[in-house]
Amino acid sequence: MKRGLLRILAVLMLAALVFTGITAAADDETLIVRPSKHNIEIMGKKADLEAYNINGYNYFKLRDVVEALGFYVAWDDALQKITVSDRPVSSGSVFIMIDAGHGGTDAGALSKSTQLYEKDINLSVAEKLSEMLRAEGYIVGMTRTEDETLAVTERMDMILMRRPDLIISVHHNASDDASRSGAYVLCQVDDREGGRTTRLAGFLQEEFENIGQTYLGNVYRRGSRGDYYGLLRAAASVGIPAVITEFAFIDNPTDLKLIDTEEKQEAEARAIYTAVMRFLQSPESEYGASDDTAEGGESGEADEASPDEGGASDDAGTDGEEETDDASDEDDGYDNGYPTWLRP
Ligand SMILES: [Zn+2]
């Protein structure tokens, strides 16, 4: 983050210099402003920034630059002050990042019977979840808000740059065996014996069960560099709890009935939301809860709530494949790392 902030400072200084230039020019000549295109790359990613050529110099809007860097900018009219920050400006609030899995050319799992794509259900649930959390006063960022292709490495970069307090990645499952059904939560491996993501998974289990879904267990999967899944690994590397929810198997007829309408996706989002609230507001929470509702009195159950973890991770392990999967995971993180029976 330090490095990112240094970049921002450099941008601000440039902006200040630029501003002086404009003022000087305005004194004695007419400003000629023309649109201008530049090929700008930020952290290896092409940035589509509008440039303005003013009297021969190219200028960019500070907001465009800051947002392209993954930061946030706020303007305080009363104080005439610009604030650039690594999180939405409203200090003290918990910042939750919601990741809608897949997107764009990466459709994720597909339900053959209904042509329902995982990427669309993920986004729908993620958006509903975001709205619920925002309504409760939490600050929410999303890795994507439309049907765009986003590599796992890009999602990992977003985590490293924005440093949220909590990450929920919304996915739905598929299997070579269409009879498989039920929900999993993928947790960070260091929490296998208990920890934040295990606690959150306990709440998720209860909430999923409350809306009629069978819970198959928590998945903890270790790769050669820590967490097997890139998203969880990136988050763990900077101490952020992150889970991936796999609420249902999109190609299983029974599970499909839990996700095939807006209302049902709303119910799933509500279940995740309630689990997140319980997680953040339970006594063990290290986060500033947005209110004091101490529903978390039951959190003792959370640790109990994952007795299936052993079985689940064994299931997901598919041992013979592990080496190969790990190798591909080195390159691009998440989905190549899926066990054979879990299609990305
Ligand atoms: Zn997926």
**Residue 96: C-alpha distances to residues 70, 131, 164, 265, 280 (Å):** 15, 12, 6, 20, 11
Average pLDDT of every residue of the chain: 77
Task: Tell me the β-bridge partners of 213.
Answer: none
Asked whether the predicted pLDDT for residue 318 surpasses 50, the reply is no
Asked whether the predicted pLDDT for residue 175 surpasses 70, the reply is yes
Task: Tell me the β-bridge partners of 57.
Answer: 54
Asked whether the predicted pLDDT for residue 147 surpasses 80, the reply is yes
Q: Could you tell me the distance, in angstroms and rounded to a whole number, from the CA of residue 24 to the centre of ligand 1?
A: 54
Q: Could you tell me the distance, in angstroms and rounded to a whole number, from the CA of residue 261 to the centre of ligand 1?
A: 19
pLDDT digits (tens, 9 = 90+) for 17-55: 444 444 444 455 678 888 887 788 877 778 878 888 888
- Choose between 23 and 242: higher pLDDT: 242
pLDDT digits (tens, 9 = 90+) for 258-282: 999 999 999 999 999 999 999 998 8
What's the pLDDT score for residue 245? 98
Asked whether the predicted pLDDT for residue 326 surpasses 50, the reply is no
Q: Could you tell me the distance, in angstroms and rounded to a whole number, from the CA of residue 338 to the centre of ligand 1?
A: 9
What's the pLDDT score for residue 12? 52
Q: Could you tell me the distance, in angstroms and rounded to a whole number, from the CA of residue 306 to the centre of ligand 1?
A: 22
Query: Is the pTM value of this prediction over 0.75?
Result: no
The angle that helices 196-210 and 262-281 make with each other, rounded to 10 degrees, is: 140
Break the chain into its structural domains and give their ranges.
Answer: 2-85, 95-337
Q: Could you tell me the distance, in angstroms and rounded to a whole number, from the CA of residue 230 to the centre of ligand 1?
A: 13
What is the DSSP code string of 5-47?
A: HHHHHHHHHHHHHHHHHHHHHHHHS---EEEEE--EEETTEEE
Domain 95-337 sits in CATH at 3.40.630.40
